[in-house]
Chains A and B, each alone.
Chain A
Amino acid sequence: MLEPIRLKVGDAIPGFTEGPLTPELFVAYAAASGDYNPLHTDPNFAQAAGLDGVIAHGMLVMGMLGRLATDIAGPSGLLHFQVRFRAPTRPGETLHVGGTITSAESLPDERIMVTADLWARGDGEQLKAVGTMMAMV
């Protein structure tokens, strides 16, 4: 198992890139998450809804940020995790996720309470989602 990464305030969290995202990934995410809204998988439905094609599930993007949160927190250290969805993500786009440590406080039991800002953007600077996390590591 990977050990949680130890970082200090102001440090950038080593992020990662996923993509280009494919329509097949959205179909796979629908099956894995139980969210079968055709907006994410059926181009005709998405067009009828006024979009120019399918868009990713917001929770797919949050799930990617969750991987980053787990890099910091490990599988059992996360206390709080929240995300605001800012822009839709379309097939062909690549997600770039990253974050910054915003606070780190040593506790009497030698554990550390960490907070971080998290973000996901597409190619270019457009933010897809921004969030925060708090963890005990």
Chain B
Amino acid sequence: MIDPDNLGRTFGPYTVTVEREHIRALATVLGEDRAVYHMVEAAHAAGMPDLPAPPTLATRYGLWANPALLAELEAIGAPLPRLLHGEQSYEYHQPIFAGDELIASPELVELEQKMGKSGPFEVLTLETRWYNQHSQLVLTDQLVVVVRGE
């Protein structure tokens, strides 16, 4: 069981640079072929400074792609093999473009113990508020994971 004292705990901070290649690769694998996600000229023509982030780009910088954060969760009793992604939400405050430098300290904002058919499990909510190089809040990411029992 995860110690309830971990509620409110923050991890990181983690910093990332949004690369054009991150945007192109995610758009490509999702079948998102709008030119603004692939060609800088198309983004400029649409009045944007560089390639814009697709709606789910933050997953490239979130829990599932962050071994250091996964190790932190494992250390408090939530190892990757027992995690299931239950819910995901994004609140978009400011646009994110290739070239942006983002920083965030994910916070454990909810921790619930529940009882299911196959025994106890926990539900953990991680909130990540990403700020850009201008100290603007750009994105609030809420990730809800189910931690299956041992």
Bound pair (A, B) = yes
Q: Which residues of A line the B interface, CB within 8 A?
A: 1-2, 18, 25, 28-29, 31-35, 37, 39, 49, 57-60, 62-64, 66-67, 69-70, 75-76, 78-85
State the main secondary structure of chain B at its contact with A: mixed
Residues from chain B with Cβ under 8 Å of A66 in the complex: 30, 32, 54-56
Contact A85 B36, CB 8 Å, known A33-B60, A34-B65, A63-B26: no
Q: Is the CB of B91 within 8 A of A84?
A: no
Contact A59 B31 (CB under 8 A): no
Least Cβ–Cβ distance between A7 and chain B, in angstroms: 18
**Inside 8 A of A58's CB, which chain B residues have their CB?**
85, 88
Given A1-B45, A70-B34, A80-B91, verify A85-B85 contact (CB < 8 Å).
yes
Q: How far is the CB of B28 from chain A (nearest CB, A)?
A: 7
Tell me which of A37, A75, A82, A84 contacts B64 (CB under 8 A): A37
Instruction: Report whether B29 and A25 are in contact in the complex, using a CB–CB cutoff of 8 Å.
Output: yes
Instruction: Check B64 against A33 for contact (C-beta < 8 Å).
Output: yes
Q: Report which of A1, A29, A63 forms a contact with B42, defined as CB distance below 8 A.
A: A1
Q: How far is the CA of A2 from the CA of B61 in the complex (A)?
A: 28
The count of chain B contact residues (Cβ–Cβ below 8 Å) is 38
Enumerate the 5 nearest inter-chain pairs by beta-carbon distance, A residue then B residue, closest first. Answer: A34-B65, A82-B89, A66-B55, A35-B64, A58-B85
User: 11 interchain pairs (CB within 8 A)?
Assistant: A31-B29, A37-B80, A49-B81, A63-B56, A70-B54, A78-B55, A79-B91, A79-B92, A80-B90, A81-B55, A85-B88
Q: A80 to B89, Cβ gap below 8 A?
A: yes
